[in-house]
């Protein structure tokens, strides 16, 4: 579980920083203050180098934020919802709720980021040239930021998922073949090849004595590799769940039970005897909450006789309800926010069934087993 903190909200988008970011921030500042600036401006005092290094670091991360914010705002202007932006490790991620639905949207959202980095680089380039002989620290900062934003723009256009260039590649293949799964696979494989090359390059750097640089390259390669694999799996799941409805996933053979029942009784009388796995808890005839097999499993064996189902149920107020027509991805999104393990399927004010996380996993498992 990663830790991240919300630092502020802009245009209604939460800006968060991941714990790893603090480490990178210190590392970047230290590198700038100890090596980069002293090598160019040897007459600066160590404290002055540190101060300029700190400002450069903050501007670097603001540049990354601007890049992600551009993705987000373009996504939003195309009707996509953006929840948050998290700055972590050596970059950032904009959390766009759904994958873009057309190749054109995917393309425009993807190129917007590198384009903004390129514009920021051009801006700092202008400042760098314009301030020559006027202010040494501003020239130093502008030069560094022009360079780093230029690298950000170019690096992100490398055509392998999860980099922006990989999304561009996906959009192009998607447009040509009309097959989003195939396009994702191409972008993912390309990302894995690039990651592999980066790791090989990192190892060669280490062998030539550039230990820190090599380690960085390997780290970036490893990160790209895992994200490329994860991204593809993610799309496969989305594709599989696109056409399935709540009514196909739900367990309609749920049992109505009383909240005062103990977990032990529930296991013996309902789960083992009746093979039921989803339960509606009623208090004086009204729906009070629901319990899934997963909730029962979470109670340790020695506590089952002393725990009532009322204590482990997801109460009615905390429930997210769906209709029988809600699609699998929307249900998964509701289940993924972490608070609920199951959603009741309601039609005409009545509970028709329950969908648990396990039902979705079963469905995906079944689908891959029969090769669908
Ligand atoms: Zn980007």
pLDDT tens profile 278-295:
788 877 767 788 888 888
Instruction: Choose the catalytic residue: 68, 80, 99, 106.
Output: 68
Q: 46: CA distance to ligand 1 center in Å?
A: 34
Whether 191 and 309 map to the same domain: the answer is no
Whether residue 296 sits in one domain with residue 157: no
Residues 201 and 257 in one domain: no
* Pairing state between β 13-18 and 82-88: parallel
| DSSP string computed for 23-71 | HHHHHHHHHIIIIIHHHH-TTS-HHHHHHHHHHHHHHHHHHHHHHHHHH
Question: Do 199 and 339 belong to one domain?
Answer: no
Q: How far is CA 339 from CA 38, 317, 320, in A?
A: 51, 12, 10
Which residues form the domain of 148? 4-241
Which domain-ending residue is among 208, 241, 274? 241
Number of structural domains in the chain:
2
Single residue among 241, 274, 289 that ends a domain in this structure: 241
Helix (H, G, I), strand (E, B) or coil at 338: coil
The CATH number assigned to the domain holding 277 equals: 3.10.580.10
How many angstroms does the Cα of residue 282 sit away from the middle of ligand 1? 49
Do residue 51 and residue 160 come from a single domain? yes
Residues 344 and 278 in one domain: yes
Q: What local confidence, expressed as pLDDT, does residue 13 receive?
A: 84
Identify the bridge partners of residue 84 per DSSP, sorted by sequence position.
Answer: 14, 95
For the question of residue 68 being annotated catalytic, the response is yes
Residues 264 and 145 in one domain: no
Q: Is there a contact between 244 and 285 (Cβ–Cβ < 8 Å)?
A: no
* SS3 call for 7: strand
Ligand 1: distance of its center to the CA of 239 in Å?
A: 23
CA 333 vs CA 98, 140, 289, 340, 344: distances in Å: 9, 46, 20, 11, 14
The answer to whether 269 touches 246, Cβ cutoff 8 Å, is no
The β-bridge partners of 279 are 255, 291
For residues 139 and 287, state if they share a domain.
Answer: no
Distance, in Å, from the CA atom of 68 to the CA atom of 75, rounded to the nearest integer, reads 11
Whether residue 260 sits in one domain with residue 198: no
Query: How far does the centroid of ligand 1 lie from the alpha carbon of residue 82, in Å?
Result: 14
Cα of 156 from ligand 1 centre, angstroms: 6
pLDDT tens digits, 165-217:
999 999 999 999 998 888 988 988 999 999 999 999 999 999 999 988 898 88
- Spell out which residues have Cβ within 5 A of ligand 1, the ion: 113, 156, 164
| Same domain? 16 vs 76 | yes
Question: Residue 206's pLDDT is what?
Answer: 94
34 C-alpha vs ligand 1 centroid, how far in Å?
Answer: 29
- Confidence at residue 92, expressed as pLDDT on a 0 to 100 scale: 63
In degrees rounded to 5, what are phi and psi of residue 210?
-90, 75
pLDDT in tens, the chain (372 residues): 457 788 888 888 888 888 878 888 898 899 899 888 999 899 999 999 999 999 999 999 899 889 989 998 998 888 887 777 877 655 666 666 667 788 999 999 999 999 999 999 999 999 999 988 888 999 999 999 999 999 989 988 989 888 899 999 999 999 999 988 889 889 889 999 999 999 999 999 999 999 888 988 898 888 888 878 877 777 777 777 877 888 888 877 777 888 888 989 888 888 888 777 778 887 776 778 888 888 888 888 888 888 888 888 888 777 778 888 888 888 887 777 666 677 888 887 677 888 877 777 777 777 767 665
Do 334 and 319 share a structural domain? yes
176: its two tokens? 């040509």
Question: In a 3-state reduction of DSSP, which class is residue 273?
Answer: helix
Cβ contact 85:12 at 8 Å: no
Last residue of a domain, one of 218, 241, 264: 241
Same domain? For 257 and 219 the reply is no
The CA 67 to ligand 1 mean position distance, Å, reads 6
């Amino acid at each position: 579980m990663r830790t991240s903190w919300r630092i502020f909200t802009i245009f209604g988008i939460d800006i968060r920083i991941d714990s790893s970011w603090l480490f990178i921030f210190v590392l970047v500042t230290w590198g700038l203050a100890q090596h980069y600036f002293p090598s160019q401006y040897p007459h600066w005092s160590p404290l002055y180098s540190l101060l300029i290094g700190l400002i450069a670091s903050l501007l670097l991360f603001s540049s990354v934020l601007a890049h992600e914010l551009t993705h987000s705002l373009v996504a939003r202007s195309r009707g996509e919802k953006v929840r948050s932006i998290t700055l972590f490790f050596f970059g950032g991620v904009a959390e766009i709720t759904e994958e873009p639905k057309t190749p054109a949207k995917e393309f425009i959202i993807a190129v917007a980021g590198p384009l903004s980095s390129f514009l920021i680089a051009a801006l700092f380039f202008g400042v760098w040239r314009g301030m020559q002989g006027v202010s040494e620290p501003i020239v130093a900062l502008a030069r560094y930021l022009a360079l780093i934003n230029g690298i950000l723009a170019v690096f992100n256009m490398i055509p392998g998922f999860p980099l922006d260039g990989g999304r561009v590649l996906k959009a192009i293949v998607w447009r040509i073949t009309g097959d989003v799964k195939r396009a994702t696979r191409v972008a993912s494989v390309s990302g894995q090849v690039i990651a592999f090359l980066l790791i090989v390059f990192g190892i060669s750097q280490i062998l030539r004595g550039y230990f820190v640089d090599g380690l960085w390259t390997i780290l970036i390669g490893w990160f790209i590799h895992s994200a490329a694999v994860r991204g593809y799996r993610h799309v496969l799941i989305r594709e599989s769940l696109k056409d399935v409805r709540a009514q196909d996933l739900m367990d309609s053979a749920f049992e109505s039970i009383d909240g005062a029942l103990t977990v032990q009784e529930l296991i013996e009388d309902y789960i083992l005897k009746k093979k039921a796995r989803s339960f509606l808890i009623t208090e004086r005839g009204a729906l009070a909450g629901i319990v899934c097999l997963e909730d029962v499993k979470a109670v340790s064996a020695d506590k089952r006789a002393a725990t009532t189902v009322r204590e482990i149920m997801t109460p009615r107020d905390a429930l997210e309800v769906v209709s029988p027509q809600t699609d699998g991805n929307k249900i998964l999104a509701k289940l993924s926010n972490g608070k609920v393990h199951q959603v009741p399927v309601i039609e005409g004010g009545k509970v028709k069934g329950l969908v648990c996380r396990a039902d979705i996993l079963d469905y995906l498992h079944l689908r891959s087993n029969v090769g669908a």
